[in-house]
Amino acid sequence: MVNYLALLGWAYDDRHELFTREELIEKFDVAKISRSPAIFDRQKLDWMNGVYIRKCDIGRLTDLAVERLQAAGVLPAGDPGVPRDKLEAVVALLQTRVQSLADFPGMAAYFFPGEIPYGEKAVAEYLHRDYAAHLLEQAIAALEALPEEQWTEEGLEPVLQGLRERFDLKLKDVIQPIRVALTGATFSPGIYDVLVLMGKDLTLKRLRDGLRLSQGAPAPPAG
């Protein structure tokens, strides 16, 4: 924010936009203040904030993200009840996707216990397909049978490929109903990253929620 505000009405040159506080103090020159009124550009602020988030140490960023997740009720106050390595892995996965700390609750909630919101359009487009309920039933059965020690990308990939062959579908048409069941949305990090970080128990719980939706049940209340 300090970096962005410093550039409202002032510029060092036409090539540099990112400065530490020390660099701003060193390079600031009142003679370079523009006479034209400054324009607040929210897109530029979001871009700059995203750059700083991507540069942030993962430990520090995780602390900041957990504060937001707790404030939003995604994680409990005090001890979040989630192993630190999982928290850091989730934050690292989303680090290149968020532009603001405020994005974390909406983008990370499905990795943690608790009900999640399901987008109506996502449900209608993918969970109400004629094969979706059967696909989710088969996915649940196959993943239940997968040993915990094989809950890795290498272990999960044959399961999804097997579903693709069984249903004679393109892989994306297998993945998208599963993605919506797991995340409530049509966009997320890679499906194997989501499955691995979500873990077996929570994955199966979300798939069962998605199956009920595909069968016409109302979405569970979020929170």
146 and 155 Cβ atoms separated by less than 8 Å: yes
pLDDT in tens, 140-176: 999 999 999 999 999 999 999 999 999 999 999 999 9
Q: Which of 16-25, 120-129, 151-160 has the lowest mean pLDDT?
A: 16-25
pLDDT digits (tens, 9 = 90+) for 29-57: 565 565 666 666 677 777 778 888 888 89
For 97-112, how does the pLDDT look when each residue is reduced to its tens digit (9 = 90+)?
Answer: 998 999 999 999 999 9
With DSSP H G I counted as helix, E B as strand and the rest as coil, what are the percentages for the chain, rounded to 5? 65, 0, 35
pLDDT at 97: 92
The confidence score (pLDDT) of residue 217 equals 77
Query: 3 CB contacts (<8 Å, ≥6 apart)?
Result: 17, 18, 19, 24, 48, 52
Domain segments of the chain as ranges:
2-32, 42-111, 120-214
pTM for this structure?
A: 0.80
pLDDT of residue 46: 74
What is the arithmetic mean of pLDDT over 22-28? 66
Q: Is the pLDDT of residue 2 over 60?
A: no
Q: How far apart are CA 205 and CA 223, in angstroms?
A: 15
Mean pLDDT of the chain: 88
CATH code at 120-214: 1.10.10.350
**Closest of 144, 139, 140 to residue 169, by C-alpha:** 139
State the Cα angle at 201 between 137 and 116, rounded to 5°. 80
Determine contact, residues 164/174, Cβ cutoff 8 Å.
yes
SS3 94: helix
Burial 112-138 (b: 16+ CB within 10 A, else e): beebbebbeebbeebbebeebbebbeb
Would the pLDDT of 14 be above 80?
Answer: no
For residue range 67-103, list pLDDT tens digits in order: 999 999 999 999 999 999 999 999 999 999 998 999 9
